[in-house]
Structure 1
Amino acid sequence: MAAEQRLVARSGDKLDLLLWRDAGLGPAEISRVCDANPGLADLGPILPLGTIVIVPATADTSATRVLPLIQLWD
């Protein structure tokens, strides 16, 4: 089981950017994170600087951040 994470918003962060950059999570996880952080959605689309966002633990330990392959030439 993966451990709970505490993320801290930087200036101009939106929730989806914060989750992607700091936890490697995609848009499918937003509702789960909002459920774990009551009142988070009330803060607006841009999170205030220093907002702490709790990402609840998951049972899936194989979740890894996969970046798309970019090729400059064929």
Structure 2
Amino acid sequence: MQRVIYSRLHDSIDAISYRYYGSSRVELILSANPRIHEHGAILPIGTPVIIPPMIVDAPKKQTIQLWD
């Protein structure tokens, strides 16, 4: 489920990405907020930012074939 946060003092999209995802997932935030780039590199305080859920692929199980 996506949520809306509001930017803090000196927040950038990259900083928000690290805070909520633990890594740089800027493309997710930009796709959920198509016009956010109009604010520039540093967002004004109180700018609403949609934080979409990060989709994680399930790890594939490794299978071992005993006989050919």
Taking structure 1 as the reference length, what is the TM-score of the superposition?
0.64
After the TM superposition, list the runs of 4 or more consecutive aligned residues in structure 1 that deviate by more than 4 angstroms: none
Q: Which has the higher contact order (CA 8 A, sep 6+)?
A: 1
CA offsets 1:34-59 (integer angstroms, 9 cap, x no match): 01102101110000100111022344
Rg larger for? 2
Would you say the 8 A contact 2:13–2:29 is kept in 1? no
Q: Name the residue aligned to 2:21.
A: 24
In structure 1, runs of 5+ residues without a counterpart are 63-74
Q: Name the residue aligned to 2:12.
A: 14
Aligned residues: 58
In structure 2, runs of 5+ residues without a counterpart are 59-68
Counterparts in 2 of 1:1-74, with a 5 A limit? 3-21=1-19, 23-27=20-24, 29-60=25-56
RMSD: 2.1
